[in-house]
A and B are shown apart, each in its own frame.
Chain A
Amino acid sequence: MGSSRFRNFCIIAHIDHGKSTLADRMIEATNTVSQRDMHEQILDTMELEQERGITIKSQAVRMIYEYEGEEYTLNLIDTPGHVDFTYEVSRSMAACEGAILVVDASQGIEAQTLANVYLAMDNDLEIIPVINKIDLNSARPDEICQEIEDVLGLDTSEAPRISAKEGIGIEDVLQAVIKHLPPPKETEDDTLKALIFDSYYDNYKGAISYVRVVQGSVKQGDMISFMATNHQFEVTEVGVFLPSQLPVKSLSAGEVGYIAASIKNVSDTRVGDTITSAEHGATEPLPGYKDVTPMVFCGIYPADGADYEDLRDALAKLELNDASLIYEPESSIALGFGFRCGFLGLLHMEIIQERVEREYDLDLITTAPSVSYHVTTVKGEKLVVENPTNLPPVTSIDYMEEPIVETTIMTPDEYVGAVMDLCQEKRGTFKNMEYIEETRVLIHYIMPLNEIIYDFFDTLKSRTRGYASLDYDMKGYQKSNLVRLDILLNSDMCDALSIIVHEDRAYARGRSIAEKLKTAIPKQMFEIPIQAAIGGKIIARETVKAMRKDVLSKCYGGDITRKKKLLEKQKKGKKRMRQVGSVAVPSEAFMSVLKMD
């Protein structure tokens, strides 16, 4: 079968607009998975994905569909939708010729959809708009089509109007894919070039690359080279996705599949890298490869210090499957031994934390997220600071720079005031605002990333009753008046609670942290002053009053086991506390400062 009967595409959608459901229906309609094995959100294999209804890792599925007497091979690449994974999404798109844009018939376009559509356009994808959830009473497909035409400039005259949930219009979508999406381009050159759009670690087969073969072909026994690292391996297996792995003889230009080559380390199979032949291979890789650069950092510590080794093993195992997770050991006076971890963004951070806690049964203490600051010292040295503790003394700093992003916020117009107030509070600089519909507005702000990683998204959601959506894009670094805010407990500094903030925001943050710690730290035998300080200057103070009563219940009829159990429970609770100078601080206290007001 020639590549003219291949169609490689992805689905773009905002969360909850029905991406996974549409994928499920297409898989069913093409009988790709037997009914017995079919279940909801079949492409989201991780428990966390199923639970949250999100896609974290890319996944692919090959479907066979007969149209006008011809058999077509449709490769659907399911990608994450979240801004944290923009690079991964862009590589998945580079592996496709087209995209289905799913838009909820009552909700319309969201900020995230927009970002991903632009990404698809950047990758020269042909886009088929699909209007989903037409069965809902609140559906307004005509208006939404108009919105798509106005905002995105896409023709919606032939856009399938479907209900993935009810199974309405699925054939229309499959046929539109065949009719409107182009087949892979024919290439003259048959030197192997395969684009890695994701990778996965298998305990038996090693790191497996998910690839789109752009030119040439690859089969078992071939020697291949990864162009970013120049490491070479012998192919042990190639195959396609059903979506389970099905070995095939070879993968040729235009095809989507996987390559296993007994690779020990997932960092050899980097997303965006090009696989070529070890001998007489390509000299130029496919365009678009980028090294992973973490945007958000935080310290991760075991709640029980004795679990340090287990935490290290857990991170090592997660790293096998996630090349964008970066970590190195660090230690804190308050928290002992742990790791400084770098993430693509806040969702990525949350996912990793949750997976460590869930899949490895570890309780964690995480420190406030930080970004990467550029510090220039008076001596002219340039430093990169990802941990507030490592910030040099104020006197030796010439100036500091912080990462800034352009945020795109989409909101119903009644919340414009609330959104602008929030952006202003968070040191945003207004760029412009556009109406995309009569009552929907797109607001652009330039904002410091360190304001976004704190509680921006939660606050945005709560001030707009959940209607606003957010996307952001790195815009580089800018000079800023930043200070380190330290927290002192009974006069001892607690390094794990230090944060870097803008001078103007320090007072408010200091006061809010002190207030939260006051409720999170239990009464102890003495009064505990909680102070927030910049340099030597105290800017906020709260006090935890001394404990007055801590007595056992009555010892009845010689039953001492009950009291012993109570004491042991207390003792266990104490073990989970961290000693900061003379003060015992429970794990929750470290986390409480991260919560929004």
Chain B
Amino acid sequence: MSMPGLYVHIPFCLRKCHYCDFVSYPNMENSIDEYIDALLTEAKLNDAFFSSRRIDTVFIGGGTPSLLSPSQIERLVCGLQSLPNFNPTEFTIESNPETITDTKLAAYANAGINRLSIGLQCHDNDILRAIGRGHTYQNFLTAYKLAANHFDNINVDTIFGLPNQTLESFRETLRQLIELSPTHISSYSLKLEQGTNLYSSFYGIDDETDREMYHTAIEMLSDTGYFHYETSNFSQQGFECKHNMKYWTGEEYLGLGVAAHSYYDGNTRTNNTDNLMQYIQMLSNGEKPTVNTITLSNADMLEDYIMLHLRLVEGIVFDDFYNKFNTSFQNEYADAITFAKDAGLITITDSSVHPTIKGFDLQNTLISEFMKKM
């Protein structure tokens, strides 16, 4: 039986962070209850999906899921638990230090949530303010300590390349985090997205510094017991995010909520409307909120496979590729492999190719090399 992931999107925030271009709405807390109804209706409409599968991981992301009250969370999770074959081994909720309370944390744990992800971004309060975060580093520490009473598995998100962030400041963020010793740390390179506040006010740091920060993260975290397993993700042994791994390794997942994406049946990708009101409306009419359904060709699946696996430190494992596509990766991509090897982008072993650090730095170039045939 397939063991897919379930993603649930909570598109509500107290305020929009200056770098964020995800689908989230500030000042719409009044709609949360309606929205939960809609989510549960959407889940029911996918009954066929659930009855033939066993949900293995759940990820409640956002937005700011920790904006939901304890009772709202209980109602949502209860609803999910009534789905057929619902018995996840990993159940994550994202949170913002600003909205974490002990009561909420207890409610999460009670409801069966066993992994907490906290958005810290950096330890410097001036920078936090500059990027529109509503919390200080001290708020985070308080929230983290409360969380540690309820959860054994905690992720902390960080961002590098922020305005006025120096290499030394970023190192300090990492040092502080390492001391707290969460099971998982994500470290993203800031990407300035069009339409965000930062896009118009900040030019971005230079590539050299950005890469120094990235290399520093890899070095410091590897030295302190964190495995670099994906471009931006590090974990203690056995604590990789199983849910996210499903995206990267081509396993099935179902997304519920505004702008949520799904992948199933080997060749189908769908996504929901990104308009909150339309989403609620459609579900109150009993309609599925899917607005796009793409049927992947074999070539698409090859491209996706390569694109996603080259984000992983493990890279592309020849046997796995052969099992999926019934053809030899080494033969199919001999030229690209030679090119990438000569350019220092990958390392080749007997069983796999995997990106070097330079390969992570120049990931687009690396992937494009393997997409050229298409």
Identify the A interface with B (CB < 8 A): 525-526, 547-561, 563-564, 566-567, 570-571, 574
- Nearest-CB distance from A516 to chain B (Å)? 22
Given contacts A567-B368, A574-B368, contact A558 B361 (CB under 8 A): no
Please tell me if the beta carbons of A567 and B260 are within 8 angstroms of each other in the complex: no
Please tell me if the beta carbons of B193 and A558 are within 8 angstroms of each other in the complex: no
Pick from B304, B361, B372: contact of A560, CB below 8 A.
Answer: B304
Q: Is B223 an interface residue (CB 8 A)?
A: no
Contacts of A555 in B (CB 8 A): 244, 247-248, 308, 311
Please tell me if the beta carbons of A564 and B304 are within 8 angstroms of each other in the complex: yes
B328-354 Cβ-contact flags toward A at 8 Å (1 or 0):
000000000000000101000000000
Contacts of B210 in A (CB 8 A): 548-549
B2-31 Cβ-contact flags toward A at 8 Å (1 or 0):
000101010000000000001000000000
Please tell me if the beta carbons of A551 and B247 are within 8 angstroms of each other in the complex: no
Please tell me if the beta carbons of B193 and A554 are within 8 angstroms of each other in the complex: no
**Besides A547-B362, A551-B361, 19 other CB < 8 A contacts?**
A548-B208, A548-B211, A549-B210, A549-B362, A551-B189, A551-B231, A554-B188, A554-B191, A557-B259, A558-B255, A558-B263, A560-B261, A560-B307, A561-B261, A564-B304, A567-B307, A567-B364, A570-B368, A571-B368
Contacts of B372 in A (CB 8 A): 571
Please tell me if the beta carbons of B231 and A525 are within 8 angstroms of each other in the complex: no
Please tell me if the beta carbons of B189 and A525 are within 8 angstroms of each other in the complex: no
Given contacts A525-B343, A549-B207, A571-B371, contact A558 B262 (CB under 8 A): yes
Please tell me if the beta carbons of A557 and B211 are within 8 angstroms of each other in the complex: no
Please tell me if the beta carbons of A558 and B7 are within 8 angstroms of each other in the complex: yes
Pick from A549, A552, A553, A563: contact of B193, CB below 8 A.
Answer: A553
Contacts of A559 in B (CB 8 A): 259, 261, 271
Which B residues from 34 to 63 make CB contacts under 8 A with A? 59, 61
For B, the interface residue count at a CB cutoff of 8 angstroms equals 46
Contacts of B175 in A (CB 8 A): none
Closest A residue, CB atoms, query B5: A558
| 10 closest residue pairs by CB, A with B | A548-B207, A549-B207, A550-B364, A553-B191, A558-B261, A559-B261, A550-B362, A551-B363, A558-B247, A548-B211
Can you list 22 A-B contacts (CB < 8 A)? A525-B343, A525-B345, A549-B362, A551-B360, A551-B361, A552-B363, A552-B364, A556-B22, A557-B7, A557-B9, A557-B255, A557-B259, A557-B260, A559-B271, A560-B247, A560-B261, A563-B307, A566-B364, A567-B364, A567-B371, A570-B364, A571-B372
Contacts of B371 in A (CB 8 A): 567, 571
Closest B residue, CB atoms, query A575: B372
- Nearest-CB distance from A105 to chain B (Å)? 48
CA distance A548 to B244 in the complex (A): 27
Q: Is B90 an interface residue (CB 8 A)?
A: no
- Nearest-CB distance from B90 to chain A (Å)? 15
- Nearest-CB distance from B359 to chain A (Å)? 10
Contacts of A563 in B (CB 8 A): 307
Q: Is B135 an interface residue (CB 8 A)?
A: no
Closest A residue, CB atoms, query B230: A555
Q: Is B290 an interface residue (CB 8 A)?
A: no
CA distance A525 to B364 in the complex (A): 11
Contacts of B232 in A (CB 8 A): 554
- Nearest-CB distance from A566 to chain B (Å)? 8
Given contacts A557-B7, A557-B9, A561-B271, contact A547 B365 (CB under 8 A): yes
CA distance A553 to B138 in the complex (A): 29
Q: Is B75 an interface residue (CB 8 A)?
A: no
CA distance A555 to B248 in the complex (A): 9
CA distance A395 to B363 in the complex (A): 48
Closest A residue, CB atoms, query B310: A552
Closest B residue, CB atoms, query A566: B364
Contacts of A570 in B (CB 8 A): 364, 368
Please tell me if the beta carbons of B248 and A548 are within 8 angstroms of each other in the complex: no
Given contacts A553-B193, A556-B22, A557-B255, contact A525 B307 (CB under 8 A): no
Given contacts A561-B269, A571-B371, contact A550 B307 (CB under 8 A): no
Contacts of B7 in A (CB 8 A): 557-558
Contacts of B360 in A (CB 8 A): 551
CA distance A212 to B246 in the complex (A): 80
Which B residues from 303 to 319 make CB contacts under 8 A with A? 303-304, 307-308, 311
CA distance A407 to B368 in the complex (A): 53
CA distance A553 to B20 in the complex (A): 12
Contacts of B248 in A (CB 8 A): 555
Please tell me if the beta carbons of A557 and B363 are within 8 angstroms of each other in the complex: no
CA distance A552 to B248 in the complex (A): 14
Closest A residue, CB atoms, query B232: A554
Q: Is B367 an interface residue (CB 8 A)?
A: yes
Q: Is B144 an interface residue (CB 8 A)?
A: no
Q: Is B253 an interface residue (CB 8 A)?
A: yes
CA distance A566 to B303 in the complex (A): 13
CA distance A548 to B311 in the complex (A): 17
- Nearest-CB distance from B315 to chain A (Å)? 15
Contacts of A560 in B (CB 8 A): 247, 261, 269, 304, 307-308
- Nearest-CB distance from B308 to chain A (Å)? 7
CA distance A549 to B361 in the complex (A): 5
CA distance A547 to B311 in the complex (A): 19
Contacts of B307 in A (CB 8 A): 560, 563-564, 567
Contacts of A548 in B (CB 8 A): 207-208, 210-211, 361
CA distance A551 to B193 in the complex (A): 14
Given contacts A557-B260, A558-B261, A574-B368, contact A550 B363 (CB under 8 A): yes
- Nearest-CB distance from A288 to chain B (Å)? 59
- Nearest-CB distance from B271 to chain A (Å)? 7
Please tell me if the beta carbons of A525 and B365 are within 8 angstroms of each other in the complex: yes
CA distance A243 to B248 in the complex (A): 68
CA distance A550 to B189 in the complex (A): 11
Contacts of B294 in A (CB 8 A): 561
B221-246 Cβ-contact flags toward A at 8 Å (1 or 0):
00000000001100000000000100
Contacts of B260 in A (CB 8 A): 557-558
Closest B residue, CB atoms, query A555: B247
CA distance A553 to B21 in the complex (A): 11
Contacts of B269 in A (CB 8 A): 560-561
Pick from A551, A553, A557, A561: contact of B61, CB below 8 A.
Answer: A557
Given contacts A549-B211, A553-B191, contact A558 B364 (CB under 8 A): no
Closest A residue, CB atoms, query B8: A557
Pick from A553, A557, A567, A574: contact of B367, CB below 8 A.
Answer: A567
Closest B residue, CB atoms, query A551: B363
CA distance A551 to B210 in the complex (A): 11
CA distance A560 to B193 in the complex (A): 16
Contacts of A547 in B (CB 8 A): 207, 362, 365
Contacts of B188 in A (CB 8 A): 554
Closest B residue, CB atoms, query A526: B343
CA distance A546 to B61 in the complex (A): 37
CA distance A552 to B361 in the complex (A): 10
Contacts of A553 in B (CB 8 A): 191, 193
Contacts of B364 in A (CB 8 A): 550-552, 566-567, 570
Closest A residue, CB atoms, query B364: A550
Contacts of A549 in B (CB 8 A): 189, 207, 210-211, 361-362
Contacts of A551 in B (CB 8 A): 189, 231, 360-364
CA distance A522 to B360 in the complex (A): 19
Contacts of B208 in A (CB 8 A): 548
Please tell me if the beta carbons of B255 and A525 are within 8 angstroms of each other in the complex: no
Please tell me if the beta carbons of A564 and B303 are within 8 angstroms of each other in the complex: yes
Closest A residue, CB atoms, query B248: A555
Which B residues from 267 to 304 make CB contacts under 8 A with A? 269, 271, 294, 303-304
CA distance A30 to B57 in the complex (A): 84
CA distance A526 to B342 in the complex (A): 12
